[in-house]
Every structure is written in structure tokens, then in C-alpha cells.
A and B are shown apart, each in its own frame.
Chain A
Amino acid sequence: MRKHLAWILPLLALPVLWLLLWGMGTDKYTLPSPLEGAEAPTFHLETMDGDSVDLADLRGKAVLLNFWASWCIPCRQEHDVLKLTEATYDREDAVVLGVVYQDTEENARRFLAQLGGDWTQLLDPTQRTAIDFGVYGVPETFFIAPDGQIARKKVGPVTWDLVKPTLDSLIAAAPSRTAGGAP
């Protein structure tokens, strides 16, 4: 009996140890989003220039939807990548949209005047769109396929290594680009 116990006790501790090690290896700040692969929530938001944008009108194009704020340091880090994205892609293929999150319009304008970038900026004063997209911090970026599905969500600053292949594959898969035409 004693001999058995000498084996059983350490064996019982193994799953606990495994769980501990696994927990240490995961990033507790990044949560899996149930929205990946799902239809993007619709929105109709005003832009900072007084226009409005309806996500449904952008069907057929890849959309990079970026939630950001002027007070967010990682947003500053990724800003050049977004500028590069805007400069690289034809607006008929891919559209960059910013959503100002928990920030004043004035501060957002100052940020953009300082760092540049003239893609469309949307205002979400009630944060309903942010909640609809399950946003919990900024920056958060959604890659929306031409068919309206959320292909990917990135929490934290995006890099060109992520943006380029993701958008390229979404554009390549767009129905108008394939030989068959409309699905």
C-alpha cells in the first residue's frame, strides 16, 4: 500500500503542475473572440467630417476596422502601419476605418494632425459599436472580409507582417476577383 502511495501522490500533482505551467505560458490579456468567423455586427456611425458610414455599404471590399484612442500608447506605435496600409491599398480593394474609442473628438484630431493619416474616422460616443464588437481595450483591430465576415481580430498594435498577408488573402478571396464572379 505504501509503495502504491509513493507513486499515486506525485501522479496526482502532475495535472496541477501542468495547469500551472500552461497558465504561465498563456497571455491572460488576450481573450479569444467569439466573433472571428462570424458576421460582423452592422453599424451606422458618423465620421469626424460629418458624413456617415454604414458597414453594409462596404460589402465587396476588405475592411480594416481599428478601434483607437489618442491616450493609448500602443495606438501610437501602430499608427505608421495603418498609414502604410492606407497608402498601399486601392480603396476599391481595402478600406481602413478608425473608430475613436473613449476619447474626445478634439484629442483625436490633435493626434491625427500630429501623426498624419487621412482615412475615415468614426465616432462612437455611446460605445455601442465597441460593445457590439466585444472591444475591451485599445487598440483592437478587426479584419472584415468582403462577404462581411470577421476574418480576424487582433488585440494590441498591428504589424505590417500581420496586416499585409491578412488583407492580401481577403482581397484575393473577394468574389469579384475570382473567375466565377458573384457567388
Chain B
Amino acid sequence: MSRGTRWRRAAALCLLAVAAPAVASGQEPVPTTAAPSTGEALTDREAERLDAEAARLAEELRCPVCRNQSVSESNAELSREMQALVRERLAAGETPEQVKAYFVSRYGEWILLEPERRGINWIVWLAPFGALIVGGGFAVWLLRRWTRAAPAAAAASPQAPGLSEENERWLRDALREG
């Protein structure tokens, strides 16, 4: 029993170690309601907040030109314009979700660096953990089988290890003759 518990505890720890960073990074900040500040001069604090919000959103959008970079990392002209557009839309009172929805409506969900957690997309999010559990379970099963099988086989067979029946007979005969 204690052996089983140990296995279970070890597996749980492994899973936790792998899953924790993913879960932590997956926490999205609560979207703040944008201040309706169109046309008015922004205070420094508002401008700063907008900049920060736009920068955060730009990190979630894929640069359509370079593809494996976010809009905020990319120096492509299109990305810079996209970042400016993100800020403009936020300043016009759109929520971050609305801004993202706009880009999705133009480029498809592909424009989001992380697929949204819904519907069939859950496969992408959960498959690695599934593979880990199945692969880990298989490895554990295999290891236990190997470690158990070896001594059992040794105990069960009176033969000298590594000798075929024929060779053993020959060896026995030779020893008897000698």
C-alpha cells in the first residue's frame, strides 16, 4: 500500500510541477472598463494606463508578417500600425476583448498567439497533460513490470541463467563424465 501511495504522490508532484506555470500564465487580468475619453485630452495617468493596456494586448496578437512573433515584439511596419490601432481603439472606449474581437474578425483566430479556451481548442490546451498522464502511466507500468519480472524469472527457473536447455544438458553430461 505504501508503495502505491508513494507512486501516486510522485506522479501528482510531477504533474503539478508541469502544470503550475501553465496555469499561472493562463490567468488573464480582469479587463478594465475603458474610460470614455474620446476627443478629450488624456491625463498622464490615463495615457500611461492606455499605453500599458495596448502593450499587453499587442503581446497577445500575432504579427501577420513574421508570424512567430507578437505584434509588440515585431518591428514590421504592419505590426507598428496594428499596435497604434490597438491604442486608438482602447482610447475610443473599446474594451480589450472588443479590440481582440476586431482583429479576429479580420484575420481569423490565427491572429491570437494563444488559442481561446473554448470548444475544440481545449484539445490544444489539454492534450499535453493527457499525453503526460498516458506516457507517464505507461512508463511507470513498464518499469514496475521490468523490475518485478527479473527476480521472479530468476527464482522460477532452476536453469543457469543464459543457457539454453540443450547447452545445459551438454554441460551436465560433461560434468558427469569428468
For the complex, is B106 an interface residue (Cβ under 8 Å from A)?
yes
**Complex-state Cα separation, A38 to B106, whole angstroms:** 10
Question: Which residues of the partner chain A approach B110 to less than 8 Å between Cβ atoms?
Answer: 31
Q: Say yes or no: is A128 at the interface (Cβ < 8 Å to chain B).
A: yes
Interface string of B106-144 (1 = CB under 8 A from A): 111010000000000000000000000000000000000
Residues of B whose CB lies within 8 Å of any CB of A are 64-65, 77-78, 81-82, 84-85, 104-108, 110
Q: Indicate if the CB atoms of A136 and B65 lie closer than 8 Å.
A: yes
Q: Is the CB of A128 within 8 A of B106?
A: no
Is B108 in contact with A32, judged by CB distance below 8 angstroms? Answer: yes
Q: Which of B64, B82, B106 contacts A34 (CB 8 A)?
A: B106
Would you call B106 and A127 a contact (CB within 8 A)?
A: no
Whether A134 pairs with B78 at a CB distance below 8 angstroms is: no
Are B77 and A127 closer than 8 Å at their CB atoms?
Answer: yes
7 interchain residue pairs of minimum CB distance: A136-B64, A134-B106, A134-B107, A127-B81, A34-B108, A102-B77, A31-B110
Most buried by A among B65, B105, B106: B106
Known: A136-B64, A136-B65, A137-B65. A131 touches B108 (CB 8 A): no
Minimum Cβ distance to chain A for residue B4 (Å): 20
Q: List 25 A-B residue pairs with CB atoms under 8 Å apart, sorted by A's residue number.
A: A32-B108, A33-B107, A33-B108, A34-B104, A34-B105, A34-B106, A34-B107, A34-B108, A35-B106, A38-B105, A102-B77, A126-B84, A127-B77, A127-B78, A127-B81, A128-B81, A128-B85, A130-B78, A131-B78, A131-B85, A134-B64, A134-B108, A136-B64, A136-B78, A136-B107
Tell me, rounded to whole Å, the shortest Cβ–Cβ distance linking B14 to chain A. Answer: 21
- A168 touches B (CB below 8 Å): no
Separation in Å of the B81 CB from the closest CB of chain A?
5
A144 CB → nearest B CB, Å? 15
Q: For A137, list chain B residues within 8 Å (CB).
A: 64-65
Please determine whether B65 and A131 come into contact, CB atoms closer than 8 angstroms: no
Minimum distance in angstroms from B134 CB to a CB of chain A? 9
Q: Once the chains are docked, how many angstroms separate the CA of A89 from the CA of B177?
A: 107
Q: CB of A133 within 8 A of chain B? A: yes
Q: Is the CB of A131 within 8 A of B77?
A: no
* A54 CB contacts on chain B under 8 angstroms: none
Q: Beta-carbon contacts of A133-169 to B below 8 Å, as 1s and 0s?
A: 1111100000000000000000000000000000000
Q: Which residues of chain A are near B108, meaning CB under 8 Å? A: 31-34, 134
Cβ-based interface call for A118 (8 A): no
- A35-B106, A133-B106, A136-B78 known, 18 other contacts, Cβ within 8 Å: A31-B108, A34-B105, A34-B107, A34-B108, A38-B105, A41-B106, A102-B77, A102-B78, A126-B84, A127-B81, A130-B78, A131-B81, A131-B82, A134-B64, A134-B107, A135-B64, A136-B65, A136-B107
Nearest CB to that of B88 among chain A residues? A128
Rounded to whole angstroms, the CA-CA distance of A102 and B81 in the bound complex is: 11
